[in-house]
Amino acid sequence: MTWIKFGTEFSDEVAAAGLSDAAYRTHVEAIGWLYRIEQTSLHISKHLVRRFAGSPCWPAGIDELVAAGFWKDHGDYWEVLHHADVIRQSLTAQLRHREMERNRQRAKRQGKP
């Protein structure tokens, strides 16, 4: 299980960009989805957006995110750019922690100190 991490500046940056509620919601839901699938490339296939987008205005929200430079359109997929370093670092740390715990448990079961 992973958890979502937002820096304290996240909401202020979104507000300063003047994004609509639909754009903010779509952005946050997309980040949550990326954490759930542990996608460190931050790529979102266009045909999968309906898996997480809860706003009825998500297409307009995505247009705003692309126009603001928060997302980049790559044809078949979008790439989340805003907050990308925080997301990647957080996911990597969580995956590393999970692997360390797995190894620790394995050693414990095998009777190793």
CATH number of the structural domain spanning residue 96: 1.10.10
pLDDT of residue 1: 62
pTM: 0.85
For the chain (length 113 residues), average pLDDT per consecutive 10? 82 94 97 93 96 96 98 98 93 86 86 72
- Whether residue 82 is contained in a domain is answered as yes
104-111's contacts with Cβ under 8 Å and 24+ in sequence apart are none
pLDDT for 34: 95
Query: How far is 60 from 91, CA to CA, in rounded Å?
Result: 28
pLDDT at 10: 93
* Number of independent structural domains in the chain: 1
Quote the CA–CA distance of 29 and 33 in Å, as a whole number.
Answer: 6
User: Does some domain include residue 5?
Assistant: no
Give domain status of residue 2, yes or no: no
Domain that holds residue 25: 10-109
